Structure 1
Amino acid sequence: MDNNHQHREHRDEMNHHGHSSHMMDGEMNSASDFLKRFWIVSVLLIPLLLLTKTGLGVLGFSDFYLRSYLQFGIATAIFYFALIFFKHARHEIKAKNYGMMTLVSLAVGAGYLFSAVSTFLPSLNAEFYIEISTLIWVLLFGHYLEAKSGARAGDALNEVAKLLPKKAHLLVGNEEKDVDIFDLREGNIVLVKPGEKVPADGTIIAGKANFNESLISGESKPIEKQEADRVIAGSICLDGSVQVKLDRVGENSTIGQIQKLIAQAKQTKPSAQSLADKAAGILTFTALGVAILTVLIWTLFVGQSFIFALTLGITVLVIACPHALGLAIPTVSTIATTLAVKNGLFVKNLKKLEIVKDVDYVIFDKTGTLTKGEFGVTEVVDMGEGKQDVLGLSASLESGSSHMIGLSIVKHAKEENLSLMRVSNFKNIAGKGVRGVIDDEKYIIGNKVLMQENGLWGAEIEEKYTQCAKYGKTVVILANSKAILGMIVLADQIKPESKKAIKSLHDLGLKTAMLTGDD
């Protein structure tokens, strides 16, 4: 197989899994199309109903010659908007999976054709315009609800697609080339710069940096990565630049697998819907069999005319159409999925909605669910300098950093209405911290390793540090050239609404548990 062919296959694969926004647009366009058809048919139904003999009687008009022809014209327009059902029926027949659309198409088609013939041959005296038009009306709305429910998965796919960058820095020899991520292949080497997202899964072959992998783990705490460490698609490089050799791209990448999972979830149906589909398949053959039997009995045994018997047979088909199945289940599914999405819940399998009422336990992930999923300052520890001074000096030094920890400290200082001081000779020490000069005095802020390298660590500091670092918290240490001045403790923060949510579940008699990797 030549390289060009491999490249085309890979690009097709990436297009299939990467263009989730197009998939979402398709779902929304489908829902919009059904809604448009429904409203047009709704408008057309009004004159059709008024042109019935009952409708004319209510209006105080007598029957007139052109009435049936006007009904034929309106019903033909409505029938046009139902042709989409025949397309679905054709797919069912090709797949030998006869369902609701097969029966609907038989009933609508037979009812319309017989009514049309009856219009031009008045002696037949049989019309089903109202029956088939209301059936079309109900089913169009049911399909709109079903398409709208499917679009919810499209929304999730679109959000996942946003986790990836649109461009990547591909390294070809000593040259850096910006390419579309759909052009990346296994074995490519890309450069990831500070603040950028990793375009695909791979291994670092050069460089060192901290990464935010909260998209997968939910943990906002940066993870230090160096040569031979793996990085995942969508993770954010916080500081430093790294070269990554890609080994999982497209649908094989972490993001690709998530997209595949969501796409599979989109295809799931409630058990009631699956049962309804099976029932519709049985009903199709049953209704068709009863309709044929009706024609034969009334023709051969009762002795009525074939036209009269055919009228009864078509009546059986129209009556047998599952109006309720076409509307009730999509309505319930749409309401359930809409409420779930509004409350931040993605339903992996719609069948599980039917057993939610039987649950005993609700198990929560901690990070990003019960907590905010973002770093925040939880405590400021001073060693004699005063907490405000420790926070002010720390924030001033970190104001020149783009690291998540530094940004969190600066944000907290601003919330405390502290003014930042001017910093000179600022220097970022990769993987350790930063240094700078404030009011002619040298300061450093960073991790334990940085303090040890500057000869500032001791047993008393170790004890205080260990106490602050409990439960997986991150501790940043501030020092001048002589001694450690204080510590800033950062951790994920609990959402204000978490307590209320847990209490509400307990009030319903449900037990709760939390999953966490913390000690």
Structure 2
Amino acid sequence: MQGENQLVELHVTGMHCNNCALSVHKMLEKKGYQNVFVSFANEEVKFTADKGLNVNNVIQDIEGLGFKVQQEEQGFVKEGFLGKIEHKFIFSLLFTLPLFLHMFLPFHWLHNPYVQLSLCLPVFVLGCAYFGKSAINSIKAGVPNMDVLIFVGSTSAFIYSIIGTLLGLGPNYMFYETTATIITLVLLGNVFEKRSVTQTTSAVKDLMKIQVDSAVRIVNGQAERVDINQLKIGDTLLVNEGDKIPTDGDIVWGDASVNESMLTGESIPVEKGKYDAVIGGTILERGSIRMLVTKVGNKTVLAQIIDLMKRAQAAKPPIQRLGDKVAAIFVPVVIGIALLTFVLAYFAFDIGFRQALLNAIAVMVISCPCAMGLATPTAVMVGLGRSAKQGVLIKGGDTVEEMTNLKYMVFDKTGTLSTGKFKIRDIKSELSDIETATLIHGLESYSNHPIAKSLVNAFANREKRKIVFTQVKEEKGLGIKAMDSEGHRYQIGSKQLVEDSKELGNYDVFLLRDDELVVRIAIDDEIKAGAKELVQTLKGQQIIPVILSGDRKEKCDALAASIGITEVYAEKLPHEKLELIESLKQGGKVAMVGDGINDGPALTTADVGVSLGDASQVAIQSAKVVLLNNDLQSITTLLKIGKHTLLTIKQNLFWAFFYNIFAIPLAAFGFLSPMLAALAMACSDVVVIGNSIRLKFKKL
């Protein structure tokens, strides 16, 4: 019998590219762990394993690959001076500068081979510790990384120089400045890379800054400030004007204006009153409230958004598979090319051992699988971060690519293309006003459907009597079935409840008591702002808009005609919606846009499910995209960001491939020295990451 699984989360430092993350990922999968998630940018490793796993063994395996695991309980671990990549670069630079400048400075002692050896040795030892350990362990893991090329190249130059020094072969055998310069320039590239990647992950860091570390809790009428981790569900908190709301909860006293821009991108404050839900991290701009805690820790909306963002940034779009395949075989191929370069140069073209070796070293140093590994994740991070700041949560890099290849965009009607706020146009009842209000308000309060919510609000202030329902059941697409304490059976919902079509008239909601129709309600719904403009945008991008709704055909046709949609499927039950989505998928990629309440199965079945809903639903949405501000304009934003993110990925991959295709032959034919090759290699990463960062500010 398989044991219960546990989630293991580790903070791993030292991963500076996708190849590093890939080596950790493959090692963990070989060990048999499930749901492996590795993000080099966020320095996170997560996986599930059987209960009773010795985490220390896993830590040893990861550190055996050349990375460092920092456990939570260790707290802040003070690094030595050489613990940071910036300090490694400064240390190397101090020894490399005199070595490099000996060609230009009139100091004869700098030409002494033993002086050069003493200057080069500290840099070489540092390079072996940093690149060598990573290189050897990546080979053991079966995923050779860029460090193999750097280590082999710098070591070849160093060993050749040592032999020349010991045998007294003269200055033509001195490559100490080449060794030190290669290591120093690659470290410089890593510094640029680290700082650039930090910028690409700023969206997640910005969200994490929103989190509150303390709260004011009311205990026996007294206020006390406590750590956020001490809060429990059911605690009462005091939040005053200007404070951040500490966690998710419901207002039990007071009124306030709450700025929810960190979730929705909408800067206009939202008015909140008693029983309204509030989200942790939002700002109370006016008023003072007491709130009841409903969610804590990683169950809060903000915590789930942060986790969602981290996972989304690590999800690979299909276009990355090409880069991954090339990067996986790249290092062995480059070493093969370097050996071939040396053999041909020395034996076939007879250009001398020294120059042949320099050409081979230049080939290894110029090659940069890191640029290919960084091309996709950095663009995805920036694209997803930019969309999140505008209230659009995309749950994976693969979704970005799917959004750019859509053939159909299917819309639910109620709450999606329409506002979901209904007005009663007409009501015909066989019951008294009090009984009508009592039954409709009581029954519809059990549903979250927009029509139900509107009816509850409409009858909230009318006179009612008390009624007790002993059984209540909601059937998606039909309505509510219930029984009261006196044994009466009730059904309220759509026209599917009424067998005789003559009794429908121009009504939308029907109430039956003991199978007898007693109330008919006609309702009106408003078209949501921006619906017509969105349809025109979709048509301009050759995406076919479709209405798929359970509402009456006359209403769906009227709305479709007013906003320019010609393909309409009305009066569909949830299982019929699924069948239609499956049918449309035969003709191309399908996005389904719904309110996230009734449309869960259809959202999941579509290639891309897009949910318009309030922030409190984020954790339970089955969609791949969540529009936090409930605005159709966000779909246009989604399409634009998806298009430009994919374009950025393609540009990055082009430059990464083009760079290697162009640079390797130059190095092989001796047009690039190893030092110039190291500088060019460092620049290639910066170009790719810089292009990704450009997406953050680019006008869409």
Band the TM-score falls in, shorter-chain normalisation: 0.3 to 0.5
Q: Normalising to structure 2: TM-score of the pair?
A: 0.37
Instruction: Name which one, 1 or 2, has greater alpha-carbon Rg.
Output: 1
Q: Normalising to structure 1: TM-score of the pair?
A: 0.47
